[in-house]
Chains A and B, each alone.
Chain A
Amino acid sequence: MIQLKDICKFYQVGEDRVKALDHVSLHIRPKEFVSIIGPSGSGKSTLMNIIGCLDVADAGIYLLDGMPIEEYTENQLAKVRNEKIGFVFQSFNLISKLSAEENVELPLIYQKVPKAQRQERVKAALDRVGLLKRAKHLPTELSGGQQQRVAVARALVTRPSLILADEPTGNLDSRTTREIMDMFHQIHEQGNTIVLITHDNDVAKQAPRSIHILDGQLTEVTL
């Protein structure tokens, strides 16, 4: 499913060359629920960007569903993100001008799914996160938890191979955090692969497999 081999990524900070990822190797199997935990500056965002095909590694091999990602052009990466990866971000990242259902519909528009089918799938996705009644609301009219659920629906609607969540509960209170995590468990049980990145131990613990990242290097943690 996901295979990282000797991935390296460098950043130029002034005169210094900072190693964000140092020969990272990782294998994630289908239908796994993996959490990646690490303090800020540990390189977890860089790792997430690479796994999410938002960025390309400087060295190493990344195979997503057997496809060598570093050989892809920018537009091909966009297509991969669109079809294979569902993103859930810390700050929700919904488009504020579009209603909940339009936000969920957007990736399907980019996939050129016909309209009737689009509406059906949007409805199903919103139903799964329990927000069918709020379909016409703008993000600003929804609570943080609801916004994050819309984001989850947007990630689910394309039926991706991988759901990539970057600190999905970082901006939420503990009760809403629980709600969202319950939803991730549900989605996992329904057969989705989930990679969850967090700095919160309590959140990370909920995943069956946890990986620790520090100074650009991974350590497998079994809880």
Chain B
Amino acid sequence: MQSVVMALRSIRTNKMRAVLTMLGIIIGVMALVVLVSLINGATGSVTDAVSDLGTSMVTVSISDDKGSPVRLDTIYEWMQTEKNFGAIAPYDTDTAVGKNGAEASSVMVYGVTPAYYEVQGLQLAMGRFLKQTDVDNSSYVCVLNTDAAEELVGYVDCVGQSVTLDNVEFTVVGVLEENEDSLSSMLTSGTLFAYMPYSTLIRLSDSVPDEITSFYIAAPAGGTLEAAESTIEQILYERFNEDEDAYSISSQNLVEEAMDSITSTLSILLGGIAAISLVVGGIGIMNIMLVTVTERTREIGIRKAIGASRGTILTQFLVEAVVLCMMGCCLGIFLSWAILQLVNTVVASTGISFAMDLGVVLVAVVFCFLIGVIFGLYPANKAAKMKPIDALHYGG
């Protein structure tokens, strides 16, 4: 404590030099804290945007059923018995030719069950989605997206109208709302979609088999996607004779995971660059401490003559270096905070906000302390090793 007070006094006697010395540390800390905080802030808002794009779900596809195919009934049974599953939505797709008078257009037809609506987070503009009875009866009903409604019927408000897909007549029971924010609608804008009961698609299309090859699983209310993922993994593993290549399971968190790895690489990279500037700042501190030790040779001599031990002198100069570093660190953190506030006011309109990352502040403090100790040690040791008589007679 005494030595901290002494160090502060000695720093105070040479304010300008102290500030210049600290500059390296201040800039280093600012670079570290501001950059990492900015990256984390940006990551936060991008990740939020990504997770808004789609509901979280597990995607399962089966390539080889090993003689025990999954059918609609199997799906219904899982939904009933497995508490780790929410809705399970089997689906298959094909293209069909949709006709509106003489005009023909290609339509993406989806064979689905009512669960698909929930799992995919679809929104209806009018009418209803497919019902369980539609699937059970293999009814010729369909739900269109707005593009398909405009193209095949001529107008959006077309519930109750009929459309022709591959020369079969379907009754439109609902039209989906155009969801411009969703990732899938961005990727597929302009494409015509028609959703029909899975059982109907099996009849309509030659390429769609009786067995289910792809389905989505949502997490149940209060459950996690991870639990659902591991449950289906286990079920399929046993079902397909412990052959992991017969199926594949992926979760839509993949995008988020990719984002995470990109941003963490980015923050490590930029943090590393900032750390280099901190080390350069540390060298500046060492330089000035060496000058200080030479300048104060006489003082060191006096202190040693009246009984300061090596350790005492070492501590004194080491504490001075560390205090210098920590002052620079505090100033740097304060300035970083000010810069982030400034950035926040500038970008306020975009709705992104950057908070100072506490973790990186902690890292900066610890790093500055270490730099103070490491780069203070050499000058302090030089001071401690001085012989009292040589030091006393230095410069007269």
Contact = CB atoms under 8 A, between A and B. Distances in A.
Give the interface SS of chain B, mostly helix, strand, loop or mixed. Answer: helix
B308 to A, nearest CB: 5
Given A97-B9, A97-B10, A110-B312, A154 B305 contact: no
A54 B392 contact: yes
Interface in B360-396: 387-389, 392, 396
Contacts of A106: 303, 306
Interface string A90-115: 01011111000000001101110000
B350 interface: no
Interface in B287-335: 298-299, 301-312
A79 B311 CA distance: 12
A112 to B, nearest CB: 10
A177 interface: no
A81 interface: yes
Contacts of B306: 81-82, 87, 106-107, 110, 154
Nearest to B393: A45
A79 B307 CA distance: 6
B9 A81 contact: no
B13 interface: yes
A75 B10 contact: no
B2 interface: yes
Contacts of B298: 93
Question: Max chain B CB contacts within 10 Å: which of A89, A93, A111, A158?
Answer: A93
Nearest to A52: B305
Interface string A103-137: 00011011100000000000000000000000000
A96 B312 CA distance: 19
A114 B2 CA distance: 12
A184 B111 CA distance: 111
A74 interface: yes
Given A54-B388, A54-B392, A95-B299, A110 B10 contact: no
Contacts of A154: 306
Question: Max chain A CB contacts within 10 Å: which of B9, B298, B304, B387?
Answer: B304
Contact of A79 (B301, B309, B388, B392): B309
Contact of B396 (A91, A94, A96): A91
Nearest to A78: B309
Interface string B1-34: 0100000011001000000000000000000000
Interface of B: 2, 9-10, 13, 298-299, 301-312, 387-389, 392, 396
| Minimum-distance CB pairs A-B, first 6 | A82-B307, A78-B309, A110-B307, A75-B309, A107-B306, A54-B389
